């Protein structure tokens, strides 16, 4: 059981786990999840960790087929500059490897923003905390657990 699943269990949040065989040669973890689970890319969300000019880390969630708009993110989190966090820092802070970074169960709680498109779906899928495993849950439940806000984050 991953820390993400353990957290949802502890809080009594309704969720479902979906597993698939992860191909180590895969370059796009999100596209792999979409294909292997037979889902639409608009309901599978990737977790991206960014950092601002004062090295504050922020968790962002957006559909796997969308591109992050750094200018929009800067406005949303009131930062002058935003860039992707170093992968080693991401692994250390979240406890997860790239391709398996869940927004849930991080070692250290981070400010979290979910792309507003999540609200148009009854459920979205996010990483369960390891490659080849996704969690489906209501976006409002996810936001509640993470104390996250919704905003437009994509191009």
- What does the alpha-carbon distance between residue 130 and residue 61 come to, in Å, rounded to a whole number? 16
Classified by CATH at the fold level, domain 3-151 comes out as YbaK protein (3.90.960)
pLDDT of residue 21: 87
pLDDT of residue 46: 96
Name the strands in the sheet holding 16-19, side by side, starting at the edge strand that comes first in the sequence.
16-19, 133-137, 124-130
Q: To the nearest whole percent, how much of the chain has pLDDT over 90?
A: 83
pLDDT at position 27 over 80: no
Buried b (16+ CB within 10 A) or exposed e, 110-146: bebbbbebbeebebbbbbbbbbbbbbbbbbebbbebb
**Average of per-residue pLDDT across 82-92:** 95
Contact 63, 115 (CB under 8 A): yes
pLDDT at position 113 over 90: yes
DSSP state letter for 89: H
Contact 82, 50 (CB under 8 A): yes
| pTM listed for this prediction | 0.94
pLDDT at position 91 over 80: yes
pLDDT of residue 31: 86
pLDDT of residue 92: 94
pLDDT at position 95 over 80: yes
């Amino acid at each position: 059981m991953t820390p993400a699943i353990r957290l949802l269990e502890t809080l009594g949040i309704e969720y479902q786990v979906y597993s698939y065989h992860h191909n180590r040669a895969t370059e796009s973890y999100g596209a792999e999840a979409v294909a292997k689970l037979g889902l639409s890319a608009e309901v599978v969300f990737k977790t991206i960790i960014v950092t601002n000019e004062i090295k504050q880390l922020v968790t962002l969630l957006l559909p796997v087929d969308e591109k992050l708009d750094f200018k929009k993110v800067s406005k949303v989190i009131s930062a002058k500059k935003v860039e992707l966090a170093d992968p080693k820092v991401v692994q250390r802070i979240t406890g997860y490897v790239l391709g398996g970074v869940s927004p849930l169960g991080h070692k250290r709680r981070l400010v979290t923003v979910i792309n507003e498109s999540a609200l148009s779906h009854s459920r979205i899928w996010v990483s369960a905390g390891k490659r080849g495993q996704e969690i489906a849950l209501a976006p409002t439940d996810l936001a509640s657990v993470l104390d996250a806000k919704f905003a437009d984050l994509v191009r």
